[in-house]
Amino acid sequence: MSRTALNRLDPRGRKVKILATIGPASRSPDVLRRLLKAGADAFRVNMSHGEHKDHADTIAGIRALEKEFNRPIAILADLQGPKLRVGQFKDGQAVIRHSGHFTLDRNPEPGDETRVCLPHPELFCVLEKGQRLLINDGKIRLRVIKASEDKILCSAEVGGLISDRKGVNVPDAEVPIPALTEKDRRDLAFAMEQGADWIGLSFVQRPEDLAEARKLMSGHGALCAKIEKPMAVRRLSEIIEMSDGIMVARGDLGVELEPQEVPPLQKKIVNAARTAGKPVIVATQMLESMIESSTPTRAEVSDVANAVYDGADAVMLSAETAAGEWPEEAVTMMDKIAEQVERSEDYRARVRFLDTPPDATTSDALAHACMTIADTVAISAINVFTSSGSTARRVARERPDTPMLVLTPSIKTARRVALLWGAHSVATKDIGSFEEMIAKGKRMALRHGFGKAGSKLIALAGVPFGTPGATNLLHVVTLTGDELNKREG
């Protein structure tokens, strides 16, 4: 690996991370490389589309870049989840009359303008008078008049054209359907075999939905709960506690909620995840116009900027990089927005506006002390030595001005941490003594561009070394010029 390649990427110069979705427009090795250079820190593989072979090729391409640039890269495999859909129509489509009646039933015969099959018997048991059914991303809005075991009579608040197999959203009821389908189980097994670092779990309604995925993952990878249903918001704190990270999936949230409800809810979810010390991703329609246009709208730029100001760990690109005409430009634009926001005068005050008091533990107290010291003394980097990544999450929760250099003997931990705010992760050999920790921290800081001769570093670790959850040591050191040339031990 050349030093030139390394220098083009290290360090990023911003703390919020960019998660780019890979698809037909971006899975080639050349485009993947350009996205990484443009600013992508992690890649999302959408299991809703494509074949396993295509995804395997994509993951192999990402891992090749990881070796080329000596940078751990997080891969998030996003599971599709259950999809509720209506059946088929006699002519492939029908028109539901505005303010008219429309029936969803269990009759498998093709539908017409008065009825259609709803092949999900679970829904007939839970829907009640007054609840809503939203079809085709909310373009058709039905209100339940009466529900029985085989029929749901509705009034069409908003009618229109409906066609075969359109999606159905049920925002007002908890749907008794598991979050994992058979396809999801196959996709999860595939993702684990391929070494995915994060699993995105769709259709989460309750904390129990995460249990089966946890069991199937068998301790491998990290679990990201996608908050896309109003039912999940009601039990948000429990879901955050059960997960390793959170995604604000604004697409389905925007269908099941009124549009004006989504922005304050986004802030609520981001704040709740940050308070818990769990990484949080803001996703969906961030630069959507760049699917077809080389420049975003001003409203989209403000949307990304607000997510950065809120202190989200990562912002995500979906179709912009998966299927759009300008994938590299979309990443470049998101990178520019984030850097501009983080350079603004009020960024520090806004990103720290949320109070994240440390828990009454030594580990949390030391993580909080890192921020306090960095605010008082000129510190070029916080060196975090960790095996599990938990210490890095504690430091990131404080949102220090100083970048965090995460040193870990586990490549899996290094990859997972690549989604964490302010973290630059490096997989390196384990340490066995205090002296070795200090020496390695100095060399790594110089090698990766976090300081120069005379710069001060904070070292945060646990003794005995290699024991997860034992953070109990904080030390401030000064860099000298000769560490750069010393041989790695």
Residue 143 binned pLDDT confidence (cut-offs 50, 70, 90): very high
Same domain, 329 and 375: no
In a domain, 297, yes or no: yes
Closest by Cα among 110, 118, 247, 224 to 170:
118
% the chain with pLDDT above 90: 87
Contacts of residue 380, Cβ cutoff 8 Å, sequence gap at least 6: 402, 403, 445, 450, 451, 452, 455, 456, 457, 479
Q: How far apart are CA 224 and CA 314, in angstroms?
A: 13
Closest by Cα among 455, 298, 324 to 35:
324
Catalytic center residues: 44, 85, 226, 284
Same domain, 392 and 328: no
Q: How far apart are CA 479 and CA 149, in angstroms?
A: 72
Residue 171 binned pLDDT confidence (cut-offs 50, 70, 90): very high
Confirm whether pTM is higher than 0.75.
yes
Average pLDDT over residues 278-290: 97
Same domain, 40 and 164: no
Same domain, 267 and 323: yes
pLDDT confidence of residue 359 = 83
pLDDT confidence of residue 481 = 63
Lowest mean pLDDT across 210-214, 330-334, 358-362: 358-362
**3: pLDDT strictly greater than 90:** no
Same domain, 231 and 257: yes
**454: pLDDT strictly greater than 70:** yes
Average pLDDT over residues 13-35: 97
Residue after which a domain boundary falls, among 139, 169, 199 = 169
- Provide the CATH number for the domain around residue 109: 2.40.33.10
Average pLDDT over residues 442-463: 91
Residue 146 binned pLDDT confidence (cut-offs 50, 70, 90): very high
> Among positive and negative, which fits the CA dihedral 338, 339, 342, 345?
negative
Quick: pLDDT tens for 197-254: 999 999 999 999 999 999 999 999 999 999 999 999 999 999 999 999 999 999 889 9
**489: pLDDT strictly greater than 50:** no
In a domain, 349, yes or no: no
Q: How far apart are CA 24 and CA 375, in angstroms?
A: 45
Same domain, 54 and 186: yes
Residue 466 binned pLDDT confidence (cut-offs 50, 70, 90): low
In a domain, 74, yes or no: yes
Q: How far apart are CA 380 and CA 449, in angstroms?
A: 10
Amino acid letter, residue 440: K
Average pLDDT over residues 332-344: 97
pLDDT confidence of residue 486 = 58
Other beta carbons within 10 angstroms of residue 105's beta carbon come to: 18
pLDDT confidence of residue 336 = 97
Residue after which a domain boundary falls, among 317, 344, 371 = 344
pLDDT confidence of residue 185 = 98
Residue 358 binned pLDDT confidence (cut-offs 50, 70, 90): confident
pLDDT confidence of residue 390 = 93
In a domain, 351, yes or no: no
Residue 479 binned pLDDT confidence (cut-offs 50, 70, 90): very high
Quick: pLDDT tens for 62-110: 999 999 999 999 999 999 999 999 999 999 999 999 999 999 999 999 9
Domain holding 303, by residue range, is 3-81+178-344
Quick: pLDDT tens for 362-383: 989 999 999 999 999 999 999 9
- Provide the CATH number for the domain around residue 293: 3.20.20.60
pLDDT confidence of residue 40 = 98
Average pLDDT over residues 376-403: 94
Closest by Cα among 81, 57, 310 to 183:
81
- Record the tokens describing residue 303, joined without a space: 């949307």
Quick: pLDDT tens for 180-197: 999 999 999 999 999 999
Same domain, 211 and 340: yes
More confident residue, 402 or 468: 402
pLDDT confidence of residue 465 = 76
Same domain, 44 and 101: no
pLDDT confidence of residue 484 = 54
Average pLDDT over residues 267-291: 97
Residue after which a domain boundary falls, among 145, 169, 193 = 169
Same domain, 379 and 426: yes
Same domain, 212 and 259: yes
**267: pLDDT strictly greater than 90:** yes
Quick: pLDDT tens for 50-73: 999 999 999 999 999 999 999 999
Contacts of 117-120 with C-beta under 8 Å, sequence gap 24+, read: 117/86, 117/87, 117/88, 118/86, 118/87, 118/152, 118/168, 119/85, 119/87, 120/84, 120/168, 120/177
pLDDT confidence of residue 356 = 85
